[in-house]
Amino acid sequence: MTHRELYKDPVNGKLTGVCAGLANYFGLEVWLVRILFISAALFSGFFLVMLAYFALSLMLEKQPDNFVQAMKSKKEHSLKSKPWQQGQNAKDLLSTLERDFDSMEHKVRDMEAYVTSEAFKVNREFSKL
């Protein structure tokens, strides 16, 4: 397991960079963390969420200048490996999804054929002995 540190990222942040820092730490998109933070503030105690935000902004250190280069050199897995985050157009995305679902359907059909076969029943009976 790699050792990651949590920093605030004022360069990519809107207020103090807490959401951008959390996004970097968890490998998420910044807009997603912001929406989650705003939703938490609206649907729960606004005061508590804002208190947590400003507490984090005071407790977290600023991201070092060489942090981005160090993260790129580690080449950690990122959630941006999904097709919809790579900026594919709709046609390519649909063909990718179609290939994925065809592959899954083929695997399920193979499983169904084996489970309903006589060989499966014989193997199951032998394993009970």
Given this model, what pLDDT does residue 106 score? Answer: 95
DSSP codes, 63-111: PPTTHHHHHHHHT---GGGSGGGTT--HHHHHHHHHHHHHHHHHHHHHH
Better pLDDT: 94 or 64: 94
Residue 82 banded pLDDT, cuts 50, 70, 90 = low
Amino acid at 110: D
Given this model, what pLDDT does residue 98 score? Answer: 93
β-pair partners for 62: 8
Given this model, what pLDDT does residue 87 score? Answer: 60
Q: Please give the structure tokens belonging to residue 107.
A: 């695997």
Q: How far apart are CA 20 and CA 79, in angstroms?
A: 15
Residue 128 has pLDDT above 70, yes or no: yes
Q: What is the pLDDT of residues 47-79, one digit of tens each?
A: 888 898 999 989 988 887 766 555 554 545 445
The gap between the terminal CA atoms of the chain, to the nearest Å, is: 42
Q: What is the pLDDT of residues 16-40, one digit of tens each?
A: 889 888 888 888 888 888 999 999 9
Q: How far apart are CA 25 and CA 6, in angstroms?
A: 6
Given this model, what pLDDT does residue 75 score? Answer: 47
Question: Taking the domains of the chain in order of start, what are their residue ranges?
Answer: 1-80, 82-129
Given this model, what pLDDT does residue 114 score? Answer: 92
